[in-house]
Copies of this chain bind each other. A is one copy, B any other.
Amino acid sequence: MNRPQAINKMIDSIKRLPGIGPKMAERLSYHLLKVSDVEVERLISAIQSARRQMQVCSVCFNVGEQDPCVVCQDSSRDKTILAVVETPQDLLALAKVKEYTGLYFVLGGALNPLEGIGPDDLRITGLINRLKNGTITEIIIATDTDSKGETTALYLAELIKHFNIKVTRLGYGLPVGGDIEYADEVTLSRAIAGRRVIDT
């Protein structure tokens, strides 16, 4: 006896989500068959209405209710400093740190040659364009401190050195190999205070 086709299809769709393996997908699928209509509708409508309401900011590529987003619209922010992050989650983590009052740019990931993610898959051209008007005098590269994030940081530092812009990296108060979005606020604020110039 084989599993019904419709369940296999559901498992396949769920398996495409990041971090969900085949066994987890199976477990979630049978759960979703078992729960009430109300429960499933709540899940589906939460996904759909978030997708409907959320917009990608055309300036920093953060996800938010407005375009430009609240950070980019905030005139009290220091427009000469730009923190480059991998994801909107990383931006949210940094936004909790009061010491940082500059702006942001969401790259959309990190370079990862093993998975075929190269410069064209990230918003690197957009970042370079944003530097051209000369307002920004410092870039803090706040990519993750794993090997992909480090590679991305070096790559960006190399690109940006042609501009007259100071390029810094978050200070190593961060645990190496860690994920920025999981860092606590104190560690993050130390990392900002201890940021350093990338020598290329």
Contacts and interface: CB of A to CB of B under 8 A. Distances in A.
Interface stretch (A31-39, A146-154, A157-165): A31-39
A162 B156 CA distance: 75
Most buried by B among A10, A23, A65, A92: A10
A50 B24 contact: no
A187 interface: no
Interface string A1-12: 101101101101
A40 B43 CA distance: 12
Given A6-B53, A47-B44, A49-B6, A26 B89 contact: yes
Most buried by B among A26, A44, A70, A182: A44
8 contacts: A6-B46, A6-B49, A13-B42, A13-B46, A16-B39, A18-B27, A44-B44, A44-B47
A40 to B, nearest CB: 7
Given A33-B54, A70-B1, A182 B23 contact: yes
A43 B27 contact: no
Given A17-B28, A54-B7, A40 B47 contact: yes
A51 interface: yes
A71 B96 CA distance: 57
B18 A53 contact: no
B87 A30 contact: yes
Interface string A172-185: 00000000001000
